[in-house]
């Protein structure tokens, strides 16, 4: 049910995005998303984009996790 692979928005036309996952392109509705932009990575569920991943946040969290794991082991 839950597709966990974030997709990149490559095009937006009238509230519908063309999204790309590993070269496969399909459409997703943007009706449930605030302020979508081309280039955003979004989580898609049943044909609707439901979340935009904040790249800077994701990088920072990952960095902190790596640091914590290195310190502790």
Partner 1 sequence: MKHVEEYRDPEMARRISSRIREINRRAVRIMEVCGTHTMSIFRYGIRSLLPDSISLISGPGCPVCVTAQREIDVCIEICRMKDVTVATFGDLMRVPGTESSLQKERANGRDVRVVYSTFDAMDLARKNPDRRVVFLGVGFETTAPTVAASILTARNEGVVNYLVFSAHKLVPPALETLLGSEGLAIDGLILPGHVSVIIGEKPYEPLVEKYRTPCAIAGFEPVDILRAIHSLTARIEQGTAGLDNCYPRAVSFGGNHKAQDAMDAVFEKRNTQWRGLGIIPMSGLGIKEEFSSFDAETFFSLSLPQPKEPAGCSCGEILTGRKIPPECPLYSKVCTPTAPVGPCMVSSEGTCAAYFRYS
* Contacts to partner 1 by CB under 8 A: 1-2, 4-6, 8, 21-22, 29, 31-34, 41, 43, 45-48, 50-51, 53-54, 57-58, 61-62, 65-66, 69-70, 72-73
The distance of closest approach from Cβ of residue 33 to partner 1 in the complex, given in angstroms and rounded to an integer, is 7
Instruction: Tell me the C-alpha distance between 21 and 27, whole Å.
Output: 11
The distance of closest approach from Cβ of residue 12 to partner 1 in the complex, given in angstroms and rounded to an integer, is 16
Strands annotated E in the chain:
7-13, 16-21, 24-29, 41-45, 48-52
């Amino acid at each position: 049910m839950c597709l966990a692979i974030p997709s990149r928005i490559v095009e937006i036309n009238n509230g519908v995005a063309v999204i790309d996952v590993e070269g496969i392109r399909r459409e997703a509705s943007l009706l449930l998303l605030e302020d979508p932009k081309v280039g955003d990575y979004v989580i898609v569920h049943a044909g609707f984009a439901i979340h935009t991943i904040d790249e800077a946040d994701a990088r920072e969290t990952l960095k902190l996790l790596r640091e914590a794991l290195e310190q502790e082991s």
